[in-house]
Structure 1
Amino acid sequence: MRVVVTGAAGFIGSHLAEALVAAGHDVLAVDVTGGGAVQHRAELALAGMTVTECDLAADDLAPLADSDVILHLAGRPGVRDSGGPRTWRDNVTATERLVEACAGRGTRIVLASSSSVYGSAERPCDEDEVTAPLSPYATSKLAAEQVVRRGSCDGVVLRYFSVYGPRQRPDMAFHRFIEAGLAGVPAPLFGDGGQSRSFTYVGDVVAATVRAAETPLPSGTVLNIGNPATVTVGDALERIGRLLGTMPPTVVKDEAPGDVARTWAGTGRAARLLGWTASTGLDDGLARQIAWHRERRERG
């Protein structure tokens, strides 16, 4: 199968591209120049891939449309600092152009969306839950979903829940906490640590995404990809401390605007349609991420 991965040099995208190559697929890895995209190019090169540089919001996308599946992970991530026009450009305009390029070609587009579209959860969210985005980032992801679901392409949406693991972005909580524990330099803790999340290991997310690429699904399908167990940020911080053998120092900051109190993944539909459930417990996943941080430090 000919597969394009956008955002392939990012945290999740780099793992996904490698897994697709290992599964025997023909993979075109696409990303932009600079920023976090540089971080994982070496891993992609070791897996036998070349990253094609492409700005989805400006460049010619016809070469990408010549594929069976596009796994669309590119975009501007993060709730904090998501209020500028670049968020809409990179998340919505880019998706609109990708869908237009694929119109009438039979190409499946699998969009990586976010649990943030639900707002704060009071119970496990299923895919038919009323959406209530609380940040510009969440609003842009919901708009991108609508572009994919209503466009003239075979569109599938995956709502990822709080992904963590090796190669996690430096701005994300677990990355900051682990580095704080290893370096002894305080990391910011936004809020009181009582926020709950369905923390989901990157390997589980990759497995679900590969299945979404390979499995026949009705166009317009939306699937939650998350661990149904919820854990508070404070509990996760304590687990990191136990695994490191030292408690990471933190500095309490005001809760970030648009940050939700709780995410909670209902994953029955993914189990039915993909035969997928998250299988990695938080302690095991954190141990793997910590090992990656240690190895990276040893390499310098």
Structure 2
Amino acid sequence: MRPSTVLVTGCAGFIGSHLCERLLHDGYHVIGLDNFDPFYPRAVKEANLAGFAHHPHFSFHEADLRQGPAALPAVAADIVVHLAAKAGVGPSVQEPASYLESNVMGTVHLLEWMRQRGIRKLFFASSSSVYGNSPEKPFREDLNTLATCISPYAASKLAGEELVHTYHHLYKLDALNARFFTVYGPRQRPDLAIHKFVRLLRAGQPIPVFGNGSTSRDYTFVADTVDGIVRGVRYLLSHTGVFETVNLGNSRPVPLLELIEAVGQVVGVQPELSFQPLQAGDVDITFADISKAQLLLGYAPRTSLTEGLRQFVAWLPQTQEV
């Protein structure tokens, strides 16, 4: 049998680059798409690609989903993993229209391109943010997320999930919506908390604490998230008539103050804290019920927070500016 071909949108990003490496290692052929969105420097994304850009089973296309199906390459794939999106709750509060354009219309254009090319399998990257401040914990996939979105980013991801379901219903698309929970590790976006904390500690500067430090996140190491994606790809390739939604988290929420202390221990610096008001759109806690992903995909995150932080700190260059 020929190896399956996986098209990965957002392939030069944090999760996308790790996923491409894993897929290539596992024997898949990979087609990567990225538009090098200026949310953070292009050079960072090009560095993410460097380790596999010349792999014989990898091809890259610079393309922007916002420009419509005609802007996408005329390639064939067995399955698409759709990671490309404008990310971040806070920035989406400041620029809601751009998030809806990228994440909703970009997804529509991808789905139309897939329909036109006869590609019928999709892994869609959603977000734990769709649960908002749901009172029920841990978060289960069957909760009413329509009542809990509290940021434009969350709304854009939930809209993407609904679009995927519509294409499943109308056009027989086999699909898996996967809600990611605070992914961290080497190559993490520079705007995210752990990345910022390490840089601030190394520079001897205080760490901002929004609220009283009790907000909690279900931190999930990137290799564990990628393993869940690969398992989802295998599931979709071997099943038909599929539409499922799963959580890919760690199921162990960590309070903000505990995270800062853990980062400080790994860096070897005692953190100085600067307490500030909560940010608009932020949620109190993310907490994944991963029992469905365990049952359906065999998903089982293995990386402890301490080990994951060690790997991140070892990767982050000492010279990065705050």
Per the shorter chain, which TM-score range? over 0.9
Is 1:72 equivalent to 2:79 in the alignment? no
How far residue 268 of structure 1 moved from its aligned partner, in angstroms, is: 0.6
Q: Which residue of 1 aligns with 2:62?
A: 53
- Counterpart contact for 1:149–1:156, Cα < 8 Å: no
How far residue 117 of structure 1 moved from its aligned partner, in angstroms, is: 0.3
Code of the residue aligned with 1:145 in structure 2: it is E
**TM-score of the superposed pair, with normalisation by structure 2:** 0.87
- Counterpart contact for 2:199–2:320, Cα < 8 Å: no
The CA deviation string for residues 88-118 of structure 1, in whole angstroms up to 9 with x for no partner, is 0110000011111112714311111000101
Is 1:128 equivalent to 2:142 in the alignment? yes
Is 1:17 equivalent to 2:27 in the alignment? no
How far residue 150 of structure 1 moved from its aligned partner, in angstroms, is: 1.4
**TM-score of the superposed pair, with normalisation by structure 1:** 0.93
Is 1:41 equivalent to 2:56 in the alignment? no
* Equivalent runs, 1:259-270 vs 2, <5 Å: 259-270=282-293
How far residue 299 of structure 1 moved from its aligned partner, in angstroms, is: 9.4
Aligned length: 298
Identical-residue share of aligned pairs (%):
38
- Counterpart contact for 1:65–1:107, Cα < 8 Å: no
Structure 2: gaps (5+ residues): none
- Counterpart contact for 1:7–1:30, Cα < 8 Å: yes
- Structure 1 34/130 Cα, relative in aligned 2: closer, same or farther at 3 Å? closer
* Equivalent runs, 1:231-246 vs 2, <5 Å: 231-246=254-269
Code of the residue aligned with 1:234 in structure 2: it is L
Q: Secondary structure at the match of 2:18?
A: helix
Task: Identify the match of residue 118 of structure 1 among 125, 131, 150.
Answer: 131
Code of the residue aligned with 1:101 in structure 2: it is W
Structure 1: gaps (5+ residues): none
Q: Which residue of 1 aligns with 2:122?
A: 109
How far residue 251 of structure 1 moved from its aligned partner, in angstroms, is: 2.9
Q: Which residue of 2 aligns with 1:202?
A: 222
Partners of 1:134 and 1:103 lie apart in 2 by 32
Q: Which residue of 1 aligns with 2:103?
A: 91
- Counterpart contact for 2:12–2:36, Cα < 8 Å: no
Partners of 1:97 and 1:77 lie apart in 2 by 18
How far residue 34 of structure 1 moved from its aligned partner, in angstroms, is: 4.7
Is 1:169 equivalent to 2:189 in the alignment? yes
Q: Which residue of 2 aligns with 1:28?
A: 31
The CA deviation string for residues 270-290 of structure 1, in whole angstroms up to 9 with x for no partner, is 001101111111111111111
- Structure 1 299/172 Cα, relative in aligned 2: closer, same or farther at 3 Å? closer
Partners of 1:64 and 1:266 lie apart in 2 by 39
How far residue 188 of structure 1 moved from its aligned partner, in angstroms, is: 2.8
Partners of 1:18 and 1:40 lie apart in 2 by 14
Q: Secondary structure at the match of 1:77?
A: coil
The CA deviation string for residues 92-148 of structure 1, in whole angstroms up to 9 with x for no partner, is 000011111112714311111000101124411111011111111101100011011
How far residue 191 of structure 1 moved from its aligned partner, in angstroms, is: 1.9
How far residue 156 of structure 1 moved from its aligned partner, in angstroms, is: 1.2
* Equivalent runs, 1:130-149 vs 2, <5 Å: 130-131=144-145, 132-149=148-165
Code of the residue aligned with 2:254 in structure 1: it is V
- Counterpart contact for 2:48–2:187, Cα < 8 Å: no
Task: Identify the match of residue 198 of structure 2 among 171, 178, 192.
Answer: 178
Partners of 2:12 and 2:192 lie apart in 1 by 17
Cα RMSD between the aligned structures? 1.9
